[in-house]
């Protein structure tokens, strides 16, 4: 019987986003306790996924925000791609879960075997 070290499990990719400490969104959201608006986080995630997988996000299937994202925070994104669906989590440096969701890419992609 032959054994192989390769599996069909999706590969987990790691990305990082540094939240700019002086982004203009913080002026009005909210001046006394600034945080990243959800729509802006979704834009940043879509841009990061495009850079990672080479296909634009065509649909947000699901997103859940668990904790606020504040100026200067370093975000750790773990994503897996299966066909054209990306599942991801966003965590802080302290490994606090900040958000999780699923995104559809515009064209089906498959991971190359490692």
For residue range 52-74, what is the model confidence (pLDDT) as tens digits? 999 999 999 999 999 999 999 99
CB atoms within 10 A of CB 4: 5
Query: At a CB cut-off of 8 Å and minimum separation 6, what does 74 contact?
Result: 16, 17, 18, 19, 92, 93
What is the pLDDT, as a whole number, of residue 13?
A: 93
What is the pLDDT, as a whole number, of residue 10?
A: 72
Domain ranges of the chain: 12-26+33-105
What is the pLDDT, as a whole number, of residue 1?
A: 31
Task: Write out the two tokens for 106.
Answer: 């515009």
Class of domain 12-26+33-105: alpha beta
What is the pLDDT, as a whole number, of residue 4?
A: 36
- Ranges in the chain, pLDDT < 50: 1-7
């Amino acid at each position: 019987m032959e054994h192989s070290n390769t599996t069909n499990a999706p590969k987990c990719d790691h990305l990082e986003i540094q939240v700019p400490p002086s982004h203009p969104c913080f002026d009005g959201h909210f001046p006394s306790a600034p945080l990243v608006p959800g729509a802006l986080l979704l834009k940043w995630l879509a841009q990061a996924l495009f850079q990672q997988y080479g296909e634009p996000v065509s649909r947000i299937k699901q997103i859940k925000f668990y904790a606020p994202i504040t100026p200067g925070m370093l975000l750790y994104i773990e994503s897996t791609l299966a066909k054209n669906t990306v599942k991801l989590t966003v965590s802080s440096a302290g490994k606090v879960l900040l958000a999780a969701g699923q995104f559809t890419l515009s064209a089906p992609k498959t991971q190359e075997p490692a």
